[in-house]
Amino acid sequence: MRKIKYFLLVTLLYIASVIAIGYIESQNPDGNIKDIGDAFWFAIVTLTTVGYGDLYPVTILGKIIGLVLILGSIGILGIIISEITNKINSYMEKKKNGFYGTDFKNHYIIIGYNDFALKVGKEIISTGHKIAFLTNAKDDLEKINTHFNHQNCFSLLAEYKDEEKYEKLNFKAAKSVFINFEEDADTLVFVLNAKKAYPNLEYVALCNNTELKGTFENAGVKYVVSPLEVTSKLVASYIFEPEVATYTEDLISSSKNKEDSDIQQYKILTNSFYHNKSFNTAFHELKDNYDAIAIGVVKDNKVYKNPSSDYILSINDYIILISNGASKKGLEDIFGIKEGK
């Protein structure tokens, strides 16, 4: 407010000086500043440091006021440049912090950032999907912007309890939300608050205490991930079935090149080739034409492993299959949608 008052005062004095020099110079028959319009032209040329030299004061008093205008121009120009610079810097900082929100749709939201979230984000982006991060740490924001580009990743700096900021992540248009906190209590609080505002969203949460899985599910978390359980199963497999464990680890990772294989799921749309086809027909068609192996179906969020051959595929079912990176483009074309939910 003080800066605005100072700017207004300087501006008023500047305008008064322009009017004064216009009046004084117009009274002199030898002067080339004939009226107020000429005076403002002289002032503008002086302010912008152009200095054409076509108009200038000739009287002593006019020159003194002209000197005031020149010095005042430096001050006003400095204020204007400073304000413009501050506005630009403020805009860029707000944009960097995600305060203007994102228009991402059908994206995945990750709440909380660490090395684990980084790996999850890279896996999602490698499948061609977009992600949005929410973090409360400035340093994490810098790391996110270093690892991901703005075309497929949006990041927001805000407090986790600030529910009004959730809209900037475009929660309503997201596919699912992954809550990645170190403390299970923080995860539970976030889920309860988010479910009130966005009850129809699918929530996936990290749970460090396996005894709380039931509590998380009752709170509305659809998929509860326990790192300890997953790790213990994989380690046990490495102990007595190392080759199977290696293959399993490869399958649960997104394919990075044409040779990599992974497990994918594709939704059956209205115009899908597989609509009203039997699982057996889909199995052979996928194997013969895309070198992909169908291993299951998801219907109404329930997984059917290796369903019967005469199972009829319906709209909104998902086919779960194994394929390599070379087949992904063809699979996306035939299903008319990218892998995943």
Does residue 79 register a pLDDT over 90?
A: no
Residues 17 and 119 in one domain: no
| Alpha carbon distances (Å) from 192 to 4, 70, 198 | 45, 63, 10
In the Cβ-directed half-sphere of 148, how many Cα atoms lie within 13 Å?
28
Q: Is residue 252 part of a domain?
A: no
Checking if the pLDDT of 341 tops 80, the result is no
What's residue 3's pLDDT?
66
Whether residues 273 and 165 share a domain: the answer is no
Give the residues across from 157 on adjacent strands: 135
In a domain, 198, yes or no: yes
In the chain the beta strands, taken as DSSP E runs, fall at: 108-111, 131-135, 153-157, 176-179, 202-206, 223-225, 261-267, 293-299, 302-305, 318-324
CATH number of the domain residue 112 falls in: 3.40.50.720
Structure confidence by residue, pLDDT tens digits, 310-323: 999 999 999 999 99
Over the stretch 275-315, which tens digit does the pLDDT of each residue have? 999 999 999 999 999 999 999 999 988 999 989 989 999 99
What's the whole-number mean pLDDT along residues 253-271? 83
Inside any domain, residue 21: yes
Task: Please report the pLDDT score of residue 185 as a whole number.
Answer: 92
Q: What is the CATH number of the domain that holds 282?
A: 3.30.70.1450
Mean pLDDT (the chain) is 86
**The pTM is what?**
0.70
Q: Are residues 123 and 82 in the same domain?
A: no
Domain contains 248: no
Q: Of 295, 226, 235, whose CA–CA distance to 266 is shortest?
A: 295
CATH number at residue 31: 1.10.287.70
Considering the domain architecture, whether residues 113 and 226 belong to the same structural domain is answered as yes
Phi, psi of 132 (to 5 degrees): -135, 125
Residue 285 lies in a domain: yes
- Among 66, 96, 126, the domain boundary falls at 96
Contact 177, 195 (CB under 8 A): no
In this prediction, residue 301 carries a pLDDT of 83
Mean pLDDT (whole number) for 39-66 = 80
Q: Which two tokens stand for residue 237?
A: 């497999």
Smallest CA-to-CA distance from 133 within 159, 152, 110 is with 110
CA separation for the pair 23, 170 (Å, rounded): 60
pLDDT at 1: 63
pLDDT of residue 245: 79
Q: Considering its fold, how many domains does the chain have in total?
A: 3
| Range 48-66 average pLDDT | 79
Same domain assignment for residues 79 and 16: yes
User: What would the pLDDT profile of 160-201 be if each residue is shown by its tens digit?
Assistant: 888 888 889 999 999 999 999 989 999 999 999 898 889 989
Which of 230, 246, 274 corresponds to the end of one domain?
230
Q: In this structure, how many other beta carbons lie within 10 angstroms of the beta carbon of residue 160?
A: 19
Judgement on whether residues 86 and 159 belong to the same structural domain of the protein: no
Mean pLDDT, residues 220-233: 84
Q: Indicate whether 137 and 225 sit together in one domain.
A: yes
Amino acid at 69: L
* Domain region containing 79: 2-96
122 and 75 inside one domain: no
136 is a domain residue:
yes
Residues 91 and 66 in one domain: yes
Domain boundary among 211, 230, 249: 230
> Is residue 68 included in any domain, yes or no?
yes
Q: Is the pLDDT of residue 70 over 80?
A: no
Residue 239 lies in a domain: no
Question: Three-class SS string for 27-86?
Answer: CCCCCCCCCHHHHHHHHHHHHCCCCCCCCCCCCHHHHHHHHHHHHHHHHHHHHHHHHHHH
